Amino acid sequence: MSIAGVFENTVAKSYGGKITKNLLPNKKLVNVTWKMDSLWFLTRDMRKDEFPEIYSFKEDSTFGLVQGEVIIVESKK
């Protein structure tokens, strides 16, 4: 993971904003969560009859001041 990726995650989580993360081809998103400033993805292999999807992981802050969003994009080879 690059330093730019770590900084990008921190900014989206702590200060709001939007980032996009692309999963490896033929992977399906199962779950996503934060652990400190790291973004963790739970994935599985995409089945032949499934199609890629795009997910939006959004923060709903108490006062609506700082709201981050992570867009997760699946792809198929």
pLDDT along the chain (77 residues), means of 10: 52 68 97 85 96 90 73 95
Identify the pLDDT of residue 3.
Answer: 45
Structure tokens at 6: 């770590």
- In eight-state DSSP terms, residue 24 is P
Instruction: Calculate the CA 69 to chain-centre distance.
Output: 8
Domain ranges, ordered by start, for the chain = 3-73
Predicted local distance difference test score (pLDDT) of residue 35? 83
Taking the model in full, what pTM does it have? Answer: 0.75
Sign of CA dihedral 54, 59, 64, 67: negative
pLDDT at 49 (0 to 100):
96
